[in-house]
Amino acid sequence: MSSGAGDSTGDGNGAESGTERRVRIVVEYCEPCGFEATYQELASAVREEYPDIEIESRLGGTGAFEIEINGQLVFSKLENGGFPYEKDLIEAIRRARNGEPLEKITNSRPPCVIL
């Protein structure tokens, strides 16, 4: 009897705004180490993909570039020795928005080295 136009069950093919969760990102980085530019680059890529995302920066300890999503540490330069790939962070944000469990990002690109 229903035409389907007003059904709220959905078939998974459309964006349902009620299913996406709010995501808050905190990036703690070492300013004297010159990591602010890396933070700005990463924040720009995130905002390009998710314009409504909340990103906060904090000054951290020496060598730090730590990323939390909704209070959970998902990346640590102190542990990995490099910086996260943008695609890995975007994927972690997608998972958080969909309510999926977050996993630590273990892939990292090496810091820039000038020879």
pLDDT tens column, 104-114: 999 998 776 55
How many Cβ atoms from other residues are within 10 Å of residue 49's Cβ?
Answer: 14
Q: What is the pTM of this model?
A: 0.79
Q: Are 10 and 37 in contact (CB under 8 A)?
A: no
The rounded distance, in Å, linking the Cα atoms of 48 and 3 is 37
Q: Are 21 and 99 in contact (CB under 8 A)?
A: yes
Q: How many residues does the structure list for the chain?
A: 115
Q: Are 42 and 33 in contact (CB under 8 A)?
A: no
Q: Dihedral (C-alpha) 93, 100, 21, 72: value to the nearest 10 degrees?
A: -60
Tokens linked to 21 = 């969760």
Q: Which of 53, 38, 35 is nearest to 90 (CA)?
A: 53
What are the tens digits of pLDDT across the range 6-60?
443 333 333 444 577 899 999 999 999 999 999 999 999 999 999 999 999 999 9
Domains of the chain: 22-97 (3.40.30.10)
